[in-house]
Each structure stands twice: as structure tokens, then as C-alpha cells.
Amino acid sequence: MWQQVELALSQSAHRVLFKLASFLPALLALFLAVLVLSAIGAGLSALLHRILTAVKFDERVSRNQVGSVSDWAPSHSPTALVARTAFWACVVLGVFIGISAFDAAYPGESQIALFVIPYLTHSVGAVILLIAGTVIARFLARSVLIGAVNAKLQYARFLSLGVKWLVLVLTAAMVLDHLQIGGVVVELAFGILFGGIVLTLSLAVGLGSRDIVSRSLERSTELVPDPIPGDHESRSPAETLRHF
Amino acid sequence: MASTQTNVDIAAAATVPTGSLLVSLVPLSPEALEATLATLSLAFANQTVLVATPDTAPSLSLGGPLRLLPYTPTAVSDTSWVLTAADYLNAFKLVQENQASACLLLGAESHTLHPEAIRALAAATATSDLAVARYDLGPREGLVNSAILYPVTRALFAARPRFPLAIDLGLSVRMAQRLAADAQRFTASSQNDALIWPVSAAAAANFSISEIDVGTRTFAQPVASDLNSILAQIASSLFTDVDAKASFWQRARSTQTGRSVAPTSPPMEHPADVAPMLDAFQIAYTNLHEIWALVLPPNSLLGLKRLSAMPPASFRMPDSLWARIVYDFILAFRLRTINRGHLLGALTPLYLAWVASHLLLISSGTAPEKHIEDLASVFEADKPYLVSRWRWPDRFNP
């Protein structure tokens, strides 16, 4: 019996060591691919940065009024945006090549790449969605806040927060859906949350704007034009303000 | 004015001797054009002047001093209340084609100018490259100019014209050429409505600048009634110009003395209603503090906190605080600290606070011009702050 136990142990140890021995080169191939491509990415990024700085890419972009590009760019520099995009593209490419190399070097029959690569692609997409959603949420929240403040709405901050969370909830639902996590639960939760936020905002704006709406209706019935914010052409011509 | 005899000769336009003055008009209504031609006839009674208009020329009598030149504009602008890139480009092309010695560029409602004022502007082109009109405005008019355009232009470019965005200008040929070159950069990318800053352009080129008092005139008002969008348009254009000419203004030194103005004026009969502006500032203070904190240093934020706690009757924004705010916004515009649209939107309530403070100050008897000259002096004195932060934006700043 002890012989059988010894045999079973030695065979299992042999199998584990064999698998480890065949797994390590595959893992090494994966790391090597990621490292090499990251190094290539860093070199490419530095080269692009130098070339674009030499041709004054930032100045050209700002002169051509492509404000939207500059506003999204890291450090507010289109050159940095291009360089970093190139670097991360190389890193992602390295991960893909590494997984393929891992799959090729690993002698097992389970085709890991077949499962991992599509999921990794989805993960990259999800990360991009998350970043884009966060940036858009912040941008829209600020736009709404400033617009509402300049329209002299007392609940400007509340409105801005509502818009921000609407976009964030939408982004979170999209990310989870993209990663195929949660399934129907996410859709239901998203519907409830999104609807809830919209309803809350509608009620808040509706109740908060009662006075504004009634004043506006009174004004329209009296056919008096809306005053310009800051411009007062009321009582007498002597009180007229002209900003320009 | 409209019934005045206008001596205009369209047919003889081709026979105008080279080297004469060219008056370039912006698009006008038929009535306004007729009135403007009448004013020009009075202004140049004994001088042959070429008048270029993009409008259909009226049929007028022969043998007068004016030679009317209808033309098809190279670039067309939809903006009429201020001179745009298209206007400068068209004016220079006309100067070139007609070999004029100088150019008078008159904005909308130019028929309300006095003939003497037009004559003085034209005469100034003989001695200086840029003649800028100086208008007599009421204490509640041209507030953006008084709050931002004049102090910034005077402090940074060491140029004294009170109206850097004047719509009546006298230009030498080389000045017209320079402005057209600036304008062409915008018209090439179909931005015909872009604003051009003649005073800073002349200062940067080391051209001579003179200022002509033209008295009162009627101004066309912007079509859009939204203060936020128009303030953003003007401030954005000015800040871009400041950014583009940074290498010049960091070296420029103001050597001229300030204007002498009366320190006091009689209190206004109808004090301005500043309550809506103060409300706008209070709402902004409670909501935009986080955004302002990205742009303004702690000292300015402290100043705004004190301002928000002031009772309306004694509401005063210190000139030094306003100068710092404008300089920090210029800097944030350059560094793109936040989205530029957001940045300029966040400036509006602060500008309204300055307007409220200015109106309260002048209602207490301080002469408006005195306050504006004092403000411009504070901007000049604080210029080293901007230069320092422009060069080393990351340096600690209390």
C-alpha cells in the first residue's frame, strides 16, 4: 500500500513539476512580450513627443481652434495625448502578443487565448468606456453648473450633481454590460436608478422653478420682453446699462 | 442729417488720383449709408476722398468730393457691432487696389459721428500709423471695455487708447497691411467674425498710435442679448491675443503718465439697481467656489469670501483684487487649467460683481473716469505678478 501511495505522490509531483516547467517558459514569453512592446512603446512615445514638439504641434492645434482636442488632452497638450496613446497602444499590443505566445508555448490542451483574448479586449473597451464616461460626466456637470449659475438658478449645484450622476450611472451600466457581469440585474438596477434620478431632478426643478415659470407666464401675457441678465432697461433710460 | 446734399460721384471713382484717403465702410442700411455719405461730404468738403462700400451705391449728384466705390467683399462677416477680421481684410485690399495713402475704417452707425471727428481721424493718419477713436460714453456704458479691455491693454502693451476695440480707426498703409495679415489667419479658416486687436498689433510692431477724441456717437449693439456668450467671445479673443504676443508684452514698459481726470462727479440722479448683479455674485460664490479655486490663488479666494459677506450698500471690490482675478484668468486661459468655455463662464459673475462695485462707487460721487484710471494704474502696478506667473506658473503662489 505504501508503494502505491509513494507512486501516486511521485506521479502527482512529477505532473505538477512538469506542468510548472512547461508553464514557466510560457509565462516568461508573456512577460517578455509585454516588456519588449512596452519598451518599444516608450521609445515610440518619446520619438513622437520630440517630433511633435519640433513641428510645434500644440501651437498648430490651438491656432486651428481645435479646442475640443486640447480640452480632453492630458496636461492639456495634444502632443502628450498622442505620445501617451501610442505608448498605451503598444502596451495593449504587447499583452495580446504575450497571451498568444503564452498560448503557443503552453503545451496544455486548454486554448487559453481563445477565452482570455476576447475578454481582455472587452476589458480594454470597458476601461476606455469608464474613462470617457468619467470625463464626460465631469465636463457636463461643470457646463450645467456654470450655465445654471449664470442663469441665476438657486439649485445650480443640485442640477449639476444630478447630471453628473446620470452620466456616471449610465457609464457604470455600460461598463458592466460590456464585461457581461450582472446580466439582467444590471439592466434593471440601471433602469430604476436612471429613472429615479430623472424623476428627482424633474420634481426638484419643477418645484424650484414655480416662481420663475409663473413670472415668465405673467411677463408673456403682458408682452414685456425678457430682460438681459445684467442689463436693466427698466424704469428709466438713465438706468440703462450697456456692457459693450 | 439724411436730407443734407451729398456730393458723390460713382463714375469718377476710377479717376481718383493715387495717394488719396480711402474711407472703408462696413455694410449699412440704405438710409444709414446715405446719412454717412452726407457726413463724409461735410467732413471732406475740399478733399477728394474715395469711399468704399459693400452696399448698393445710391444714385447721387456728380462733381462732389466723394468718389464712391461699391465693391464685392473678399470676406463677409455677420457681425456688425464691432470691426471683424473680414472688415480689416477688405479694407486693406481696397487700399492696395486703389493705391490709397491712408485708410479710414468706420464702423456701424458711423453717420452719428461728427464731421470734425472724422476729419480729425483722417488727419491723424498723416502723423501716426494708427489713430484710435476715443468716445464720450455715459458712466454706465462700455463697461466691459472699462473693466477688462482698457486696463489689460494699457498695462500689458503700454498703449494708452481708452477704447482698444474702437470701431472707428485711421490706418496708415503699413498698419492696414499688418492688420490684414492678422485677419487673414482667421479668414483662411473661415473665421470671418474673429476680432482683431489693432492697438496691441500696433504696439507689438512699434508703430505710432494716436488717440482722437470723437465725442459721442451711437453704437450698434450685439444681436445676441446673452451677456455670457458675448463676454466670453470678447475675453477669449483678448486672452488669445495676449497669449500670442507674450514675448512682446513681457518686455514692454509703460513710460507715459496717466490722464488727468476730475476726481469727483455729481452723484447720479437715478442710482443703478445693482441687486440683480449682487444676487448673481452670491449664487456664484456658493456654487462656483470649487471652479474658482482651480484658477485663483488662496489670497484672491479670501478676497472673494470677504466680498460675499459685505452688505450691498458698502459692496466694494478692491481694484487690486479685480486685477489679480483678470490676470489669473488670463493665465488659466493660457494653461488650459480648465476648459476655456467653462473658464470664461466662471468669469461672468465676477465681472458682474465688479460692475456692481463700480456703479456703487460712482453713485457715491467718485468720477467714473477717475475710478477707471485708478484701476488701470493698479493693473500696471501688478503686471510683474502676471509676468512672473506666466514664466513660472508652478511656483508657489499665496
For chain A, give the longest Cα–Cα distance. Answer: 113
From residue B51, how far is each of A113, A179, B8, B26, B106 by CA, in Å?
A: 78, 70, 9, 11, 11
Shortest Cα distance from A90 to chain B (angstroms)?
Answer: 28
Buried b (16+ CB within 10 A) or exposed e, B178-192: bbbebbbebbeeebb
Angstrom distance (rounded) from CA B26 to CA B13: 19
Range B115-129 average pLDDT: 90
* Average pLDDT of chain B, as a whole number: 85
* Res. B63: pLDDT tops 80: no
- CA distance readout (Å), A70 to A77, B154, B190, B230, B393: 6, 30, 20, 22, 19
Kindly determine whether residue A230 and residue B227, on different chains, have CB atoms separated by under 8 Å: yes
Residue of B nearest to A60 (CA): B185
C-alpha cell at B200: 496691441
Residue whose grid cell is 512580450? A33
Sort out which chain B residues have CB atoms less than 8 A from A232's CB and list them: 272-273, 276
Chain A residues touching B185 at Cβ < 8 A: 63
Quote the minimal CA–CA distance from B72 to chain A in Å: 27
Query: What is the C-alpha to C-alpha distance for residues B364 and B362, in angstroms, rounded to an integer?
Result: 5
Say which residue, A73 or A127, is predicted with more confidence.
A127
Nearest by CB to B349, from A149, A157, A238: name it: A149
Strand order in the sheet with B21-25: B7-8, B61-70, B49-53, B21-25, B102-106, B168-172, B130-135, B209-215
Residue B374: count other Cβ atoms within 10 Å of its Cβ. Answer: 17
For residues A204-230, average pLDDT: 60
List A residues 48-67 in contact with B (Cβ-Cβ < 8 A).
63-65, 67
Residue that is written with C-alpha cell 501716426 in the block: B128
Domain boundaries, chain B: 7-249, 275-391
B213 touches chain A (CB under 8 A): no
B352 vs A contacts (CB less than 8 Å):
230
- Out of A142, A154, A228, the one facing B227 most closely (by C-beta) is A228
What's the pLDDT band for B256 if we cut at 50, 70, 90?
low
Chain B interface includes A68 (CB < 8 A): no
Q: Can you state the angle between helices B275-287 and A112-150, rounded to 10 degrees?
A: 160
More confident residue, B258 or A163: A163
- Helix, strand, or coil here: B63? strand
Rounded Cα gap, residues B197 and B201, in angstroms: 6
Domains of chain A: which residue ranges? 17-110, 111-224
Of A73-77, A79-83, A122-126, the range with the lowest mean pLDDT is A73-77
Residues recorded for chain B: 398
3-state secondary structure of B364: coil
Of A67, A154, A243, the CB nearest to B143: A243
SS3 B353: helix
Q: Does A55 have pLDDT greater than 50? A: yes
- Say what the pTM is: 0.79
ipTM for the predicted complex comes to 0.82
Q: Using one digit for the tens of pLDDT, what is the confidence trace for B135-176? A: 988 888 889 999 999 999 999 998 889 999 999 999 999 999
| Torsion over CA: B97, B101, B107, B109 (sign) | negative
pLDDT at B133: 92
Return d(Cα A218, Cα B224) in angstroms, integer: 24
Q: Which of B32-36, B250-254, B348-352 has the highest mean pLDDT?
A: B348-352
Q: What secondary structure does DSSP assign to A131-172, as a single string?
A: HHHHHHHHHHHHHHHHHHHHTT-TTHHHHHHHHHHHHHHHHH
Average the pLDDT over A225-233 and give the result. 45
Q: Do B230 and A232 touch (CB under 8 A)?
A: no
| CB nearest A70 (choices: B81, B268, B336) | B336
Binned at pLDDT 50, 70 and 90, residue B17 comes out as low
The predicted structure's pLDDT at residue A22: 73
Q: What percent of chain B has pLDDT over 70?
A: 87
Q: What's phi and psi for B135, nearest 5 deg? A: -100, 150
Tell me what pLDDT residue B354 has. Answer: 95
Interface test with A, best of B193, B287, B288, B333 (most A CBs within 10 A): B287
Q: In angstroms, how far is the first alpha carbon of chain B from the final one?
A: 59
What is the nearest CA distance from A20 to chain B, expressed in angstroms?
52
Distances (CA, A) of A188 to A165, A172, A183, A195: 17, 13, 9, 11
Which three cell numbers, joined as nine digits, stand for B68?
A: 464712391
Of B141, B189, B234, the CB nearest to A242: B141
Computed over every residue of chain A, the mean pLDDT equals 78
Q: Which of B137-141, B243-247, B265-269, B300-304 has the lowest mean pLDDT?
A: B265-269
- B286 to chain A, any CB pair closer than 8 A? The answer is yes
pLDDT at position B397, please? 67
* Mean local confidence (pLDDT), B66-85: 85
Partners of A145 on chain B (C-beta within 8 Å) are: 287-288, 291
- What pLDDT is recorded for position A31? 87
Q: pLDDT value at position B337? A: 86
CATH 3.90.550 fits B7-249, yes or no: yes
pLDDT tens-digit map of B299-321? 999 999 999 999 988 899 999 99
Answer yes or no: are the C-beta atoms of B209 and B134 closer than 8 Å: no
CA distance A42 to chain B (A): 26
C-alpha cell, B117: 471727428
Query: Closest residue of B to A240, CA-based?
Result: B140
The closest of B229, B237, B256 to B154, measured between CA atoms, is B256
